[in-house]
Amino acid sequence: MTIDQNQQSQQSSRSTLLPLAATLLTATVALYITLVAFSNITDFGTNQAFVQHVLAMDTTFKDEDLMWRAIESRALQDAAYVAIIAWETVAAIVLIFATYLWVRRDHHRARRISTIGLLMLMLLFGAGFIGIGGEWFVMWQSGDWNGLDAATRVFTLSGVVLLVVHLPAEGRASASGTGAAGTAER
């Protein structure tokens, strides 16, 4: 095998494997968030209690300087929980659709839709659970109702998949505007 043939073989392998990796990783996250949303819908009470305790801040150190942040209204707690489930459900649908687009080899649209779904999860678990739940409602102080580890896992997984989805592939435009083939993938 000549050097040119070897390079072509490596490029062909990478251009085939990268979309496969993006497909499988997007599908994995889609499956995960679909199961999370399904569980929250079919077993509403389990995580409803979690959201209620986090928002009420009733298992934190109860520092007087922070307790004014607590939300004790059941209606507001339930509204927050329903909003979380709705967000998870929409993210699941978006990622399922993105997976479908990856399978169809519509890589440009799949990348765009995957990005939307993955960013939805990063916002929910990063800004929502880690930022607002963890810091504003000091969830980190609770031994019983602390979801920071789980939120960090989902945030990290979504971030890694987002990076893979945006890795440059042969024949696709790079950050400088030119790809190996000099054209952007459509």
Distance between CA 136 and CA 42 in Å, rounded?
A: 29
Q: Tens digits of per-residue pLDDT, 116-141?
A: 999 999 999 999 999 999 999 999 99
> For residue 36, what pLDDT is reported?
98
- Is there a contact between 138 and 151 (Cβ–Cβ < 8 Å)? no
124: DSSP letter: I
- Which token pair is 179? 């790809």
pTM summary value:
0.85
Distance between CA 116 and CA 85 in Å, rounded?
A: 17
Name the helix (H) or strand (E) containing 94.
helix 74-103
pLDDT of residue 186 exceeding 90: no
Average pLDDT of the chain is: 90
> For residue 6, what pLDDT is reported?
60
Q: Give rounded-to-5 percent helix, strand, coil for the chain.
A: 75, 0, 25
* Neighbouring C-alpha atoms within 13 Å toward the C-beta of 93: 5
